[in-house]
Structures are given as C-alpha cells and as structure tokens.
Amino acid sequence: MKKLFYSFIPLWACFAMASFAADIENGEKIFTANCSACHAGGNNVIMPEKTLKKDVLEANGMNSVKAITYQVTNGKNAMPAFGGRLGDSDIEDVANYVLSQSEAGWD
C-alpha cells in the first residue's frame, strides 16, 4: 500500500506547481496597460540603451524573474515603482512576460 501512495506524490506536486505558474497572457495585458508607453516592442524611450532585449537584460543582470520583479516593484532612475499600484502576482506575470518576449526577440 505504501508504494501506491508514494506513486501519487509526484502527480500532486505537478498540480501544485501548475497553480503557481505565471500567467503570460495576464502579463501581456499588464505590460500593455502600464509599461508599453516607455517599453513598446522591448525598447526604452527614456534610456534607449536600456532596452528589454535579451542581450541587454543579460548584460545588466536583469535576465531573471527575481531581478525584473524587484525593478518593477521598486522602480529605478526614471522608472516609477509599481509596487503600490500592481499586485505581486501581476508584477510576477509581467516579469515572466518580459523574459518570454526577450527570448522570442519581441516578435
């Protein structure tokens, strides 16, 4: 009986992990509503050298959900902090959207 019980643990773990997965579609909506004025197409109208393109994110240490989430939450330089305006899950969705788009070349 123990063997049968343990065989279900990985399945349960998979469902638990899926519930925490980022919502890329929501991230796109949040990005469009809050970020695209300055970052349309992964560009940056305020600081043109600080784009959201893959190579620039890597060069600036911003190529992780954690780093992007921190920046969106707290802001930096001309970028405002969105921590008081957006919920934590929305910010994480935006971070995941930005990373997915940087990987895709902002198609």
Identify the CATH number of the domain in which residue 93 sits.
1.10.760.10
Number of folded domains that form the chain: 1
Q: Which pTM does this prediction carry?
A: 0.80
Q: Provide the residue-wise pLDDT of the chain in tens; the chain has 107 residues.
A: 455 444 444 544 444 444 457 899 999 999 999 999 999 999 999 999 999 999 999 999 999 999 999 999 999 999 999 999 999 999 999 999 999 999 999 98
| 82, 75 contact by CB (below 8 A) | yes
Alpha helix segments (H runs only) across 75-107: 88-104
Give the single-character DSSP code of 44.
-
List the domain range (segments joined by +) for residue 99.
Answer: 23-104
Would 15 be classed as within a structural domain?
Answer: no
Question: Distance between CA 82 and CA 74 in Å, rounded?
Answer: 7
Whether residue 3 is contained in a domain is answered as no
Residue 75 lies in a domain: yes
The token pair that represents 63 in the structure block = 């190529």
The dihedral over CA atoms of 63, 69, 41, 54, expressed in degrees to the nearest 10, equals 0
Q: Is 10 inside a domain boundary?
A: no
